[in-house]
């Protein structure tokens, strides 16, 4: 087996823990002798943090991956102090048929126990990632529930503005040409036109979607279903009032939802999203 020895120490770590570069090299060379591994490269890193992958010796070692069969370190935190970076490295090693060995820990992927331990580390890293996602979701929902817009400006949680709207310095605003089309779509539907009829009419006059595609009943339905055209942004079931121009008043938007539901295959039994309006009567 061809071994790449990687040693690293930062000034703070050497002072606190006493792990010198030379001490690490001596221990790892002895390990290779005991295992009958050939040392094909020693990669020394001094003064660099293990929390980043921007380290010249580490980068050189990974560039020369074809020269060696395994990486040998004294402790796992010598090569990475960030679990995500460590697992990214392990993924790359697996793809290339390479192995990883920590001399003072049970991290030797040449053995079944070592592979089991690394698998547990990967699962813990995945758990950490999912917990971060959950905290981000909860934070976004809390922000959505507490967001208050006013006539001075309508802020968003960050999204791609739909047809009829744009974002300028984080503020939602309407686009005159597209907003006129959106208003016409709601007006035509309320007057009895079908979604196919509306799409055909827009295409016949050369009016296309923002992406330059012909309109379809599905793109028309997306507009008719979106509460942003009635003055409300929606995030995970939470409605957030905005004060950019609306294409339709809440009463008419809710009326459109009822019409669409009644025309659906289940005969109006589907749950429909209505926006707040004190004057609306079912």
- For residue range 202-259, what is the model confidence (pLDDT) as tens digits? 999 999 999 899 999 999 999 999 999 999 988 777 888 888 899 999 999 999 999 9
Average pLDDT over residues 257-269: 77
The C-alpha atoms of residue 222 and residue 151 are separated, in whole angstroms, by: 26
Give strand ranges (E) for 146-269. Answer: 165-168, 171-174, 232-235, 238-241
Place of tokens 């402790």: 75
Superfamily of domain 2-125: Resolvase, N-terminal catalytic domain (3.40.50.1390)
pLDDT band at 282 (very low <50, low <70, confident <90, very high): very low
Reported as a single tens digit per residue, the pLDDT across 131-160 is 766 766 676 666 666 666 666 566 666 578
pLDDT band at 39 (very low <50, low <70, confident <90, very high): very high
CB 75 within 8 A of CB 104: yes
CATH of domain 147-263: 3.90.1750.20
pLDDT at residue 68 in the model: 96
Work out the mean pLDDT of the chain and round it to a whole number.
83
What residue spans define the domains of the chain?
Answer: 2-125, 147-263
pLDDT at residue 16 in the model: 46
Residue 261: active-site member:
no
What does pTM read for this prediction?
0.50
For residue 106, is pLDDT > 90? no
Buried b (16+ CB within 10 A) or exposed e, 102-132: bbeeebbbeeeebbebbeebeeebeeeeeee
pLDDT at residue 279 in the model: 43
H or E stretch at 42: strand 38-46
Reported as a single tens digit per residue, the pLDDT across 68-103 is 999 999 888 788 877 778 888 988 998 999 999 988
Give percent of the chain with pLDDT exceeding 90. 46
pLDDT at residue 15 in the model: 44
Q: How many residues are listed for the chain in this entry? A: 282
pLDDT at residue 122 in the model: 62
pLDDT at residue 178 in the model: 95
The C-alpha atoms of residue 260 and residue 268 are separated, in whole angstroms, by: 8
Q: Considering 10, 102, 154, 219, which one is annotated as catalytic?
A: 10
Say which residue, 150 or 5, is predicted with more confidence. 5
Phi, psi for residue 32 in degrees, rounded to 5: -65, -40
The C-alpha atoms of residue 116 and residue 239 are separated, in whole angstroms, by: 47
């Amino acid at each position: 087996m061809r071994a790449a020895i990687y040693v690293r120490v930062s000034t703070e770590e050497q002072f606190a823990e006493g792990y010198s570069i030379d001490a690490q090299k001596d221990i790892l060379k002895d390990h290779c002798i005991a295992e009958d591994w050939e040392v094909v490269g020693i990669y020394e890193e001094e003064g660099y943090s293990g929390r980043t992958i921007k380290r010249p010796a580490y980068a050189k070692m990974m560039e020369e991956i074809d020269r060696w069969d395994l990486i040998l370190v004294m402790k796992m935190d010598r090569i990475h102090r960030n679990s995500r970076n460590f697992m990214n490295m392990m993924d790359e090693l697996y793809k290339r048929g390479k192995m990883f060995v920590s001399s003072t820990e049970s991290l030797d992927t040449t053995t079944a126990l070592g592979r089991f331990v690394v698998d547990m580390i990967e699962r813990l890293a995945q758990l950490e990632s999912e917990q971060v996602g959950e905290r981000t979701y909860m934070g976004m929902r809390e922000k959505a529930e507490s967001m208050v817009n006013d006539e001075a400006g309508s802020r968003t949680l960050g999204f791609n503005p739909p047809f009829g709207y744009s974002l300028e310095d984080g503020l939602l605003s309407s686009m005159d040409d597209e907003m006129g089309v959106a208003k016409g779509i709601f007006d035509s539907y309320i007057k009895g036109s079908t979604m196919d009829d509306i799409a055909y009419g827009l295409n016949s006059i050369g009016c296309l979607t923002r992406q330059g595609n012909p309109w379809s009943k599905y793109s028309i339905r997306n507009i008719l279903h979106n509460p942003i055209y009635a003055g409300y942004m929606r995030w995970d079931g939470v409605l957030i009032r905005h004060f950019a121009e609306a294409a339709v008043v809440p009463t008419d938007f809710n009326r459109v939802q009822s019409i669409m539901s009644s025309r659906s295959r289940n005969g109006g039994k589907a749950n429909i999203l209505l926006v707040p309006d004190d004057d609306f009567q079912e």
